[in-house]
Structure 1
Amino acid sequence: MYGGSYEPLPADAYSSTLTLTYDDAVVWTPAQLTGLALAAAGCLLPAAVGGWALGRRRRATSA
């Protein structure tokens, strides 16, 4: 009855499953902890320098 690209897909073509498994503990390697520390420092350092620069600018203009 159907032919070519108009033939309906089989019923299982639309099904999907997701299976997540994990252990009870998350194991952090030293390399991962170092990367986490560097990422945190990389976010905090520009914010600290920006706050310091804004504070100096406001103090310089009000004096």
Structure 2
Amino acid sequence: MEWTSSWYKAYIRSLFTSDDYGEKFKVVRGGGYLSFDRRYLMCAHRSHARPGEAGDTGFRCAKNVR
């Protein structure tokens, strides 16, 4: 799973709207390295995991090298 620097906003040409759009939330993408269960590839479902079900889900920090 990767927390990106992108703000949460509508996809181009999307008709979906949300009060959460704007510079409030960043985008999380992907899944864990052992995410065979497709439920954990969608962040909307991760909060429903039982303890120990998604132990491979984490995050990484990245920085540009100068």
Which category describes the TM-score, using the shorter chain as reference length?
Answer: under 0.3
User: In proportion to residue count, which structure has more strand?
Assistant: 2
Rg larger in structure = 1
Q: Which is richer in helix?
A: 1
TM-score (norm 2): 0.14
Q: TM-score, length-normalised on structure 1? A: 0.15
With a CA cutoff of 8 Å and minimum separation of 6, indicate the structure with the bigger relative contact order: 2
